Amino acid sequence: MKLKEMLDDVKMHEIDDDLRDLGLGGPDSADDDNAGLDPDFKQTPMIMQVGKVLDSRGNPNPVTELTTDDGAKHKVSWQQASVLKMLLTTDKVKPDIKRQFTKDVQQADTLGMLLKAGNQDEMIKAFLVKYNPGAAPEKSNY
């Protein structure tokens, strides 16, 4: 392939991208920051907020606050954020319980209850008392 042919091919892709940017081919889902997220959430999903807390812990001004859908702001340590992340991503509980917890932790009462528990063990105990996920995780199809 000659260089001129390659450049012509690149220009055609640029034109296609420009048409997509204009919306002529419909909106590009990659441009939507909330694509694939629960539309019921009013604030940033808790898993993303927790990730920001954990990512910023070595920064001069770390993120130390989580905001629930009802607008309440909660102070959180990176250790508590780590436990929340583990609870939100674990495969040790059934998917329907995890889905319910993901929705509930967006509310001030559930998040506050977990954060008041204090250390990792107490937070996990509070989760188990509220959700009682059972001893065995749901079997995977994979």
Three-state SS for 17-60 is HHHHHCCCCCCCHHHCCCCCCCCCCCCCCHHHHHHHHHHCCCCC
**What pTM was estimated for this model as a whole?**
0.64
What does the pLDDT read at residue 16? Answer: 53
pLDDT by residue (tens digit) across 40-63? 677 788 889 899 999 998 889 999
Q: Are 87 and 81 in contact (CB under 8 A)?
A: no
Report residue 133 CA to chain centroid gap: 21
User: Is residue 131 predicted with pLDDT exceeding 80?
Assistant: yes
What sign does the CA torsion over 8, 13, 17, 19 have? positive
Amino acid identity of 140?
S
Residue 138: pLDDT band with limits 50, 70, 90: low
The mean of the pLDDT values for the chain is: 79
